[in-house]
Amino acid sequence: MASVSTRSGETFLTDDDLLLFDFIALYDVPFWAMCRDKYQLSINSRETHSLDDGALRDVLERYVGQGLLRAKEVQLGVRRGPQQYFGLTAAGGELWERERRPVWNLYCVDSYCEKGVDVECLSSAVAEAFVETGKVSGLLDPSVELVQSVRHEPAMHSKVSLIQWKTFSVGYELKFRAPEVRDFDVDWALYESRRTWWRSVEELVTLRRN
């Protein structure tokens, strides 16, 4: 996870606040996953915040009251009961943007199924570059091929934003398929040497912005 040392320092958010905002910037997160003893494992981070569960709850509820976060209850079954999830609002997202300065046209979301990978992004070239690098680095099956590319606009597709608190003028959904599914050893050094996109806050702050 991105270090708070890379923040711009332009907002009133504390380092603890920013670590929480980093976690929920791109998707909604349940309360338990943000707890101090779960944070590192949940987000694959070397850092964690200093808040105990009570202080964490107070911070989240304060920012919900200020309109920077939104909260919702999700029913996960009879045994687990309702779980509270948190995400950024547009106002909270603006604060996070000032600290992390995301390059949105280089952002992509990859999801996997038995037959290949789907990539959502704001530039089809980004999706194609991600897949080509995935092939040579071992992240993806080298036989994957593009089978569908769809261009979305807000009037036609309500989720062009890719995230819930920001809307963009256009987005792309590309589907790549492979004839078979195999496991590969990923050459992460090669992946990083070719990476011109970001999928997480960690990838954002280590992105070569030239």
Q: What are the structural domain ranges in the chain?
A: 4-100, 104-205
**How sure is the predictor about 67, in pLDDT bands with cuts at 50, 70 and 90?**
very high
Number of H helices, E strands in the chain: 8, 7
pLDDT above 80: residue 78: no
Calculate mean pLDDT across residues 67-85: 81
- Alpha-carbon distance 74 to 58, whole Å? 20
More confident residue, 156 or 210: 156
pLDDT of residue 141: 86
pLDDT of residue 208: 66
pLDDT above 70: residue 191: yes
Query: What mean pLDDT is reported for the chain?
Result: 87
pLDDT above 50: residue 210: no
Model confidence over 140-160: pLDDT tens digits?
888 889 998 888 876 555 556
107 backbone dihedrals φ, ψ, rounded to 5°: -85, 140
Collapse the DSSP code of 82 into the 3-class scheme (helix H, G, I; strand E, B; otherwise coil) and give the result: strand
Q: Which of 51-65, 89-103, 138-152, 173-187 has the lowest mean pLDDT?
A: 173-187
- Alpha-carbon distance 20 to 17, whole Å? 5
Domain 4-100's class?
mainly alpha
**How sure is the predictor about 81, in pLDDT bands with cuts at 50, 70 and 90?**
low
More confident residue, 171 or 63: 63
- On the 0-12 / 13-18 / 19+ scale of CB atoms within 10 A, 172 is buried
pTM comes to 0.85
pLDDT of residue 155: 57
pLDDT above 90: residue 25: yes
pLDDT of residue 183: 67
Model confidence over 88-99: pLDDT tens digits?
999 999 999 999
Contact 82, 75 (CB under 8 A): yes
pLDDT above 80: residue 5: no
Calculate mean pLDDT across residues 105-115: 88
